[in-house]
């Protein structure tokens, strides 16, 4: 069942609950009706908010399983001092998450995967019994891992987690399919003891792990990385301003590209005389600007940066595959591709 259908079913269930409440309220004395006027109004506000379908599928499914979802949300609302619309959304999501955690079907987990750029001993995808051979210690080194997922999943067991993250990735997941050497942290589960579990060739092994040493990549997006003197390559970039600024070396500037791409570069790159990178051309193939410094291309939707689609990745990789050098000819800038044998090694 998709997200829209689940949210619609949840709204209808809450609407029926409110209609029953209204019928009961109209049977009361005028004084009693006045006593419940504020409650009735807040419940209507909750319903109006639910019309917009804010809940992710699993949260909607969990709240849908509650006997009286509207009453549950109102009860949580009445416990706090809430004033605005955004807070109401948070209360609904929090109530749904509480229902989720109480269900035996769901687990709250994190997934950690080895950052291949930090894997100097090449232990990624190896079982724990081989750690001593390759790194001289059987300890799982937390510092080479990235956190690639945190959330609640519709799985009652670690075997279910393995299946989900190989066959049916959650929406927005950008990590690799779950494999040997990955670490699953069980935060909350009615059936699995909380802790850290190392994914082996067969099953899992409970281990000691230090999550504070890992890098948070739960907001990563797939981009095309453009570096001076290097071939364009797909990469993962954390979708935070801090990480994007770190990658380009300063304040970011976003330029729209045909095909729905967003080119992210250093806003002050030319002032800082960063090395030349690639050309931007018009429809006629004329160079209109020269990119400098490290840049990357991502997608965009509703004002937010998102991953490139496979088709976009293919399109932009073909267009920006090689770095370029520039010469001025007849008062025009001419770009020439730097082939692999000419690049720095």
CA distance linking residue 74 with residue 82, whole number of Å? 11
Find, among 194, 111, 97, 108, the residue nearest to 145 by Cα: 111
pLDDT above 70 coverage of the chain, percent: 97
Domain ranges of the chain: 3-102, 107-216, 220-342
CB atoms within 10 A of CB 162: 19
Tell me which DSSP letter residue 213 carries.
G
Q: What is the pLDDT of residue 85?
A: 65
pLDDT in tens, 91-125: 998 898 888 877 777 888 999 999 998 999 999 99
pTM score, whole prediction? 0.69
Phi–psi pair at 304, nearest 5 degrees: -115, 150
Q: Which residues pair with 328 in a beta bridge?
A: 333
For every one of its 345 residues, what pLDDT tens digit does the chain have, with 9 covering 90 and above?
466 788 899 999 999 999 999 999 999 999 999 999 999 999 999 999 888 777 888 788 889 988 999 999 999 988 877 666 678 888 998 898 888 877 777 888 999 999 998 999 999 999 999 999 999 999 999 999 999 999 888 888 999 999 999 998 887 788 999 999 999 999 988 889 999 999 999 999 999 999 999 999 998 999 999 999 999 999 999 999 999 999 999 999 999 998 889 999 999 999 999 999 999 988 888 888 999 999 999 999 888 999 999 999 999 999 999 999 998 888 888 888 888 777 655
Element (H, E) at 186: strand 183-188
Tokens coding 202 = 């067969």
């Amino acid at each position: 069942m998709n997200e829209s259908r689940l949210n619609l079913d949840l709204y209808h269930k809450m609407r029926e609950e409110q209609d029953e409440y209204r019928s009961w309220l109209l049977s009361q004395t005028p004084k009693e009706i006045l006593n419940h006027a504020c409650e009735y109004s807040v419940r209507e506000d909750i319903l109006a908010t639910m019309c917009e379908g804010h809940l992710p599928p699993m949260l909607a499914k969990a709240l849908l399983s509650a006997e009286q979802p509207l009453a549950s949300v109102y009860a949580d609302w009445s416990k706090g001092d809430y004033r605005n619309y955004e807070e109401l959304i948070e209360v609904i999501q929090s109530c749904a998450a509480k229902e989720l955690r109480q269900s035996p079907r769901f687990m709250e987990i994190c997934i950690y995967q080895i950052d291949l750029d930090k894997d100097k001993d090449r232990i990624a995808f190896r079982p724990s019994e081989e750690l001593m051979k390759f790194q001289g210690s059987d300890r799982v080194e937390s510092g080479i891992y990235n956190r690639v997922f945190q959330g609640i999943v519709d799985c009652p067991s670690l075997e279910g987690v393995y299946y989900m993250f190989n066959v049916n990735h959650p929406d927005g997941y950008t990590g690799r399919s779950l494999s040997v050497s990955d670490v699953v942290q069980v935060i909350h589960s009615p059936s699995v003891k909380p802790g850290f579990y190392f994914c082996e060739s067969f099953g899992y092994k409970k281990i000691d792990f230090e999550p504070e040493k890992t890098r948070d990549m739960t907001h990563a997006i797939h981009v095309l990385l453009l570096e001076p003197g290097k071939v364009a390559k797909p990469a993962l970039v954390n979708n935070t301003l801090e990480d994007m600024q770190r990658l380009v070396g300063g304040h970011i500037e976003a330029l729209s590209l045909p095909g729905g791409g967003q080119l992210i570069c250093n806003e002050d790159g030319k002032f800082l005389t960063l090395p030349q990178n690639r050309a931007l051309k018009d429809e006629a193939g004329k160079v209109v600007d020269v990119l400098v410094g490290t840049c990357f291309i991502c997608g965009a939707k509703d004002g937010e940066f998102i991953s490139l689609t496979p088709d976009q990745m293919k399109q932009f990789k073909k267009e920006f595959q090689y770095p370029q050098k520039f010469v001025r000819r007849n008062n025009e800038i001419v770009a020439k591709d730097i082939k692999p044998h000419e690049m720095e090694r």
